Amino acid sequence: MNTDERNILLKIAYDGSNFCGWQRQPGSRTVCGELETVLSRLCGINIKLDAVSRTDAGVHALGQQASFKGVFGLPTDRIAKAVNDALAMDRLQRVGEIAIIEAKEMPPDFHARYSSKGKRYIYRISDSAEMNVFRRNYCYQVGRPLDVSAMRKAADFIAGEHDFRCFMAMGSSPQKSTVRKIFEADVRREDEDIVFSVAGDGFLYNMVRIITGTLVETGLGRRSPEDMQKTLASLDRSEAGHTAPPQGLYLKEVFYTSPPFTART
Amino acid sequence: MNTDERNILLKIAYDGSNFCGWQRQPGSRTVCGELETVLSRLCGINIKLDAVSRTDAGVHALGQQASFKGVFGLPTDRIAKAVNDALAMDRLQRVGEIAIIEAKEMPPDFHARYSSKGKRYIYRISDSAEMNVFRRNYCYQVGRPLDVSAMRKAADFIAGEHDFRCFMAMGSSPQKSTVRKIFEADVRREDEDIVFSVAGDGFLYNMVRIITGTLVETGLGRRSPEDMQKTLASLDRSEAGHTAPPQGLYLKEVFYTSPPFTART
């Protein structure tokens, strides 16, 4: 029997299509709400999760991280299976919308969010002319060919430490600073998709989706790659592109040690 | 202005995840119900669709076919775009859960279902040990390795004309005959999935899903490929395997001319 308070870190994947985002809200179905309900029942205590990223409605996670503390009986190495079984669709389809990939015990002073050093998002875009009903929740279907090399050139200007105010949604709550450090920003074709991958020490509200919208406009030839510098320097949201839809965005991973990134040259 | 009655054939793709199947039912969200509502509004007349297959809840279509008759103004070559725009998620994500692939005018005596000569279903199975939250609605995640060559041998016994009563769901409405002709039945690995493809002149209720469940049990080593012969000869549902979940099943195509199939030897 465990009588000591444990500090548990969960690595979580979820399909955000049918959730009103991560953060618990009364009357809404949220990833955090679903997980807290199941965890509280399995552990027999009231559990509150602290996650690294409060992903928006429709946004997915491949490696969200969230931690909680408590005194409870369920052994740490059985948490993932117990939660995943409880969330499974049925007896044959043993998987649900949320899956715990890993659960591990951390030192008492560890906190999923405050201890993190940064995170990586990816954004999936399809430029196929054919719209695919099966992918509507999983990528941004632009419907027209994109110039990937122009998008990559534009993304190069994002890397480094900048004031990213131009990529913050209008009406966001005030920030102490709008300066962030981007470790890596890259655009590549992967199978039939175009994937924008961006790692940084932090992101402003809607920052990845607004950068993606700006990159898509670059790929369509409506902006030149070099425009990205002017847009950044403007510090003006209206100079940046449209906000790409939430469906293509995935929280890929969270860093707990400073990642050994070197900006591409 | 069109004043003649037209007979329109639609080729339709849909993601069945969030529908209670094809067939219109009061109080339930169905593919037919959604399409009839949109078509009736766009054409300004009350439209009733006749489809080839009344797919169940959770079952998908890559090439469903449905026809309707009526006198209305919308030109045939604008039907697909008008319906697809009406069903799109939003201004940026211009795709919905249902898409019309093609609309064409047919002779007055044509009927999507009665004129059809057969259809092909595919069933997607994943045997990866890692459960994937993003694929829970799109394939049967068995979670253990499957012997594809044993499954293919078992599928060989399905091809040809047989009484398929053993693969009909208990409690199905009585059939004049439970004999069907299967033109082709094959199992292959495609990328990371195992795909069962089966074409025939008709299918009993749940037939593809029960054959798939039987093939999965063969792939797991619980049945020998040769058992398939005994199962067929038994005419007994309890001799066949479990009913595979709906999520892996796709109506692939409908045949309107006798397809030039030759059973594999």
- Note the pLDDT of residue B257: 87
Return the residue in B95, B139, B192, B252 with the most chain A beta carbons within 10 A, the one to mutate for interface testing: B95
H or E, element range at B134: none
State yes or no: pLDDT of A16 exceeds 60.
yes
Is A204 found in the same domain as A123?
yes
**Using alpha carbons only, what angle is made at residue B23 by residues B21 and B28, rounded to the nearest 5 degrees?**
70
**Domain span at residue B80?**
6-106
Judged by a CB distance cut-off of 8 A, whether residue B188 touches chain A is: no
CA–CA gap between residue A215 and residue A212 (Å, rounded): 5
Tens of pLDDT, residues A107-159? 999 999 999 999 999 999 999 999 999 999 999 999 999 999 999 999 999 99
In-domain check, residue B261: no
Among A19, A74, A14, CA closest to B131 = A14
Is B231 found in the same domain as B149?
yes
State yes or no: pLDDT of A2 exceeds 90.
no
- Note the pLDDT of residue A228: 98
Is B200 found in the same domain as B135?
yes
Is A152 found in the same domain as A41?
no
Instruction: Give pLDDT < 70 ranges for chain B.
Output: 1-2, 259-265
Which residues, 6+ apart, have CB-to-CB distance to A78 below 8 Å?
none
CB atoms within 10 A of CB A122: 21
Distance from CA of A139 to the nearest CA of B (A): 9
Tens of pLDDT, residues A68-85? 999 999 999 999 999 999
CA–CA gap between residue A191 and residue A181 (Å, rounded): 29
Query: B141 to chain A: which residues are within 8 Å by CB?
Result: 93-95
In-domain check, residue B24: yes
Question: CB contacts < 8 Å between A and B, how many?
Answer: 74
| pLDDT (mean) for A45-64 | 97
- Note the pLDDT of residue A258: 72
State yes or no: pLDDT of A1 exceeds 50.
yes
CATH number at residue B233: 3.30.70.660
Tens of pLDDT, residues B64-111? 999 999 999 999 999 999 999 999 999 999 999 999 999 999 999 999
What percent of chain A clears pLDDT 70, i.e. is strictly above it?
97
Amino acid (1-letter code) at residue B100: I
Distance from CA of B176 to the nearest CA of A (A): 32
Given pLDDT bands bounded at 50, 70 and 90, which one contains residue A257?
A: confident
Is A134 found in the same domain as A97?
no
What is the 3-class SS of chain A, one letter each residue? CCCCCEEEEEEEEECHHHCCCCCCCCCCCCHHHHHHHHHHHHHCCCCCCEECCCCCCCCEEEEEEEEEEECCCCCHHHHHHHHHHHHCCCCCCCCCCEEEEEEEEECCCCCCCCCCCEEEEEEEEECCCCCCHHHCCCCEECCCCCCHHHHHHHHHCCCEEEECHHHCCCCCCCCCCCEEEEEEEEEEEECCEEEEEEEECCCCCCHHHHHHHHHHHHHCCCCCCCHHHHHHHHCCHHHCCCCCCHHHEEEEEEECCCCCCCCCC
State yes or no: pLDDT of A53 exceeds 50.
yes
Which residue among B94, B138, B245 sits closest to A141, beta carbon to beta carbon? B94
**Using alpha carbons only, what angle is made at residue B249 by residues A84 and B243, rounded to the nearest 5 degrees?**
70
Q: Which residue has the tokens 């449209």?
A: A242
Q: Is the pTM for the entire model greater than 0.80?
A: yes
Judged by a CB distance cut-off of 8 A, whether residue B84 touches chain A is: yes
B18, B97 contact by CB (below 8 A) = yes
CA–CA gap between residue B226 and residue B213 (Å, rounded): 16
Domain final position from B106, B139, B161: B106
SS3 state of residue B53: coil
In-domain check, residue B263: no
Is B162 found in the same domain as B54?
no
What is the 3-class SS of B157-225, one letter each residue? CCCEEEECHHHCCCCCCCCCCCEEEEEEEEEEEECCEEEEEEEECCCCCCHHHHHHHHHHHHHCCCCCC
Looking at every residue in chain A, the average pLDDT score rounds to: 95
Looking at every residue in chain B, the average pLDDT score rounds to: 95
- Nearest residue in chain A measured CA to CA from B81: A131
CATH number at residue B52: 3.30.70.580
CA–CA gap between residue B160 and residue B149 (Å, rounded): 20
Given pLDDT bands bounded at 50, 70 and 90, which one contains residue A213?
A: very high
Instruction: For chain B, list the strands marked E by DSSP.
Output: 6-14, 50-51, 60-70, 98-106, 118-126, 140-141, 160-163, 179-190, 193-200, 249-255
State yes or no: pLDDT of A265 exceeds 50.
no
Total number of domains in chain A? 2
Is B147 found in the same domain as B219?
yes
- Note the pLDDT of residue B1: 58
